[in-house]
Amino acid sequence: HEITASKFLGIGLDLQEQQYVQPLCHTFILFSLTEWNRRVLRGKRGKTDDEKLSIQTQRNTLAHRIKAWRVLQVLYMPIVTILAAQAARESSEANETETDAVPKPENEKLWLPCDVPPRLWATGLSRGLAEKEMQLREAEADDALYQVRSDLCSPSVYLFLMFPAHRSGVIS
């Protein structure tokens, strides 16, 4: 393999973000106002076939990316094979009475280093992997804070917060 530990973790964090964002995209499919009005008038509030196909395509793509990442995960985090098998066994025992639902990739546990008990880091993870994950997460948090600060300093936000007339577009 030609992927460094940092790149491996970066892909894992991207997958985790996609898992979080994907259900939101499914919930908030945006329509034009006229399309929304047409649907409400016709009594259609469900998703169209095209929207269902788009959701399934996104799920398939995410599932394939997770499957490819799992191959690398065995190299960097061999303990995950055991932990995932234990979790699957416990989950199947707990859900024996439930109907067979198709697992969704956005609900699949990725088993990043932070998900592995610290007592297993020394034997089950590549050296320094947990620390690298913490550094990457800290860098992501710093970037997010910088973006929030930048957005708050923009003139449009200042006008919105300071002058209520700009909120609705009507002077009261």
Mean per-residue pLDDT for 135-141?
94
pLDDT value for 22 = 72
Cα 13 to its chain centre, rounded Å, is 8
- Structure tokens of 138? 């800290």
The packing angle between helices 49-76 and 5-27, to 10°, is 160
Q: Which pLDDT score is estimated for 90?
A: 83
For position 34, what pLDDT does the model report? 59
Q: Are 31 and 39 in contact (CB under 8 A)?
A: yes
What is the 8-class DSSP label of residue 142? Answer: H
Give the gyration radius of the chain's Cα atoms: 22
Question: 144 versus 169: which is more confidently predicted?
Answer: 144
User: Tokens for 24?
Assistant: 């939101």
Residue 120 pLDDT exceeds 70: yes
pLDDT at 129: 93
Q: What mean pLDDT comes out for the span 91-110?
A: 74
Note if the pTM is more than 0.75: no
Average of pLDDT values for 123-141?
Answer: 92
- Which residues have C-beta within 8 Å of that of residue 44, sequence separation ≥ 6? none
For the stretch 35-75, pLDDT in tens is: 556 666 665 556 677 878 888 899 999 999 999 999 999 99
Residue type, 49: D
